[in-house]
Amino acid sequence: MKKAKSFILPPDGKVHPGKTVDIRYTVSENYLGDPIRIPITIINGKNPGPCAFLSAASHGDELNGIEIIRKIAHEWDPANLNGTIVCLPVLNVPAFLAQQRYVPTSSEDLNRSFPGNKTGKSIKRMAYSIFKSFIKPCDFGIDFHTSTRGRSNMLHVLADLSDEKVSHLAHSFGSNIIINGPGPSGSLRRSASEIGIPSITVELGEAHRFQLKLIEKALTGLESVFSAYSIRPTQSVHWPGWRAIISSKEDTWLRSSVGGIVSLRCNPGDLIEEGSVVCTITNPFKKEIDEVVSPFTGLIVGLLQNPIVRPGDPICHLVTLDRETISEYHASNKNNDLV
């Protein structure tokens, strides 16, 4: 773990122990040659300790993570922290300003562009600048995402559990569901983990909104992580009551077989029995009805929110739970507050 007494800001700034500093850091330029700057808050704890990054909005319309990170950045007292937290609430400023998922002028995905390229195209240069200056100096990191527009996720973690350090980080967050896999090439968490900076993705909720209940659950997860890494030792590591580890090759997406208007029968976080109806799809006259039925008993991790579909559109992200986990689910979540 890095034990530096102060965090050096490229190219010439410094945040001293026990201080919090807000900066805007230039990562690119627009068509007029004006700077594209991302907001960053550096919290440097009073005492030495690990260095962690928190990032969000690499997809510009994914907002829940922004509020999570802002709460950490401006409500946590550095006098009570060991180490440093690098807060990156809006990675993709052009997409955020346009309230779009991708860079509006090119439709490029920042979260498929890491670790970037200093002499590559614009999106690669932006990724390179962020990665070199604010990801590489860290010991571990958490990247926040939501579902794409028109769908919603229950809170869950994506992590490569074959890496022992990544596994430790993922379990420390205290989520009910961990989906195991390396992640897409060019994603921030995979690129960081591949160079020895264990990183995970936290998925929660839907695009274009702040969902306060989910934000509070994520803050509990962060408190758990920072306790496990002794950055905020006054907190305790959180156990969520039950947990399932899901292979990224084993989860299932249910898709519509017809086009029409959807009526949902369930919510993200619901346990649905084999043969139960997830939703019905009807034509505008409600004369033709198609039912989407669960092929097995499982947990709904992600669910359509936009009530119109075409044939083949995704309806439901469903994962299998074993009998013991199902029993723990029922015992721990009588109020069904998993969303």
**Beta strands at 244-247 and 177-180: parallel, antiparallel or unpaired:** parallel
Residue at 21: amino acid letter: V
User: What is the rounded CA–CA span in Å between residue 321 and residue 333?
Assistant: 15
Please say whether the beta carbons of 134 and 88 come within 8 A.
Answer: yes
Last residue of one domain, picked from the residues 230, 245, 260: 245
Give the list of residues 6+ apart from residue 163 with CB closer than 8 angstroms, or none.
Answer: 193, 198
**150 touches 304 (CB < 8 A):** yes
The pLDDT of residue 161 is above 80: yes
Q: What is the pLDDT of residue 335?
A: 55
**Domain assignment of residue 339, yes or no:** no
Residues 25 and 111 in one domain: yes
In a domain, 322, yes or no: yes
pLDDT, tens digit (0-9, with 9 covering 90-100), for 14-33: 889 999 999 999 999 999 99
Kindly report, residue by residue over 251-276, the tens digit of the pLDDT.
799 999 999 999 999 999 999 999 99
User: Is 229 contained in some domain?
Assistant: yes
What pLDDT is recorded for position 12?
A: 53
pLDDT score, position 36: 96
Instruction: Identify how many contiguous H helices and E strands the chain contains and give both numbers.
Output: 7, 19
Do 214 and 110 have their domain in common? yes
Tens-place pLDDT, residues 95-109: 999 999 999 989 999
Query: Do 226 and 256 sit in the same domain of this protein?
Result: no
CATH of the domain at 303: 2.40.50.100
Q: Report d(CA 129, CA 110) in Å as an integer.
A: 12
2 located within any domain:
no
| Enclosing domain of residue 24 | 7-245
Domain endpoint, select from 190, 215, 245: 245
Question: Is there a contact between 40 and 25 (Cβ–Cβ < 8 Å)?
Answer: yes
Q: Which helix (H) or strand (E) holds 328?
A: helix 323-332
- Tell me, what DSSP letter sits at residue 113? S
Average pLDDT over residues 280-294: 91
224/321 same-domain check: no
Q: How confident is the model at residue 124 (pLDDT cuts 50, 70, 90)?
A: very high
Residue 1 has pLDDT above 60, yes or no: no
- Identify whether residues 232 and 297 lie together within a single domain: no
d(CA 48, CA 138): 13
Residues 239 and 265 grouped into a single domain: no
Q: Are 192 and 182 in contact (CB under 8 A)?
A: no
d(CA 63, CA 56) in angstroms, rounded, equals: 8
Number of domains in the chain: 2
Question: Are both 94 and 188 inside the same structural domain?
Answer: yes
pLDDT at 333: 73
- CA neighbor of 180 nearest in space, from 154, 158, 197: 158
- 103 and 141 fall within a common domain: yes
More confident residue, 28 or 4: 28
Q: Residues 288-329: pLDDT tens digits?
A: 889 999 999 999 999 999 999 999 999 999 999 988 999 999
Residue type, 205: G
Do both 179 and 163 map to the same domain? yes
Mean pLDDT over 152-165 rounds to 98
Residues 188 and 299 occupy one common structural domain = no
If asked whether residues 255 and 184 sit together in one domain, one would say: no
Last residue of a domain, one of 187, 218, 245: 245
The dihedrals phi and psi of 330, each to the nearest 5 degrees, come to: -65, -35
Quick one: 241 and 274 in the same domain? no
Give the pairing type, strands 35-44 and 298-304.
unpaired
Q: What is the CATH number of the domain that holds 234?
A: 3.40.630.10
Bond before 78 cis per omega within 30 degrees: no
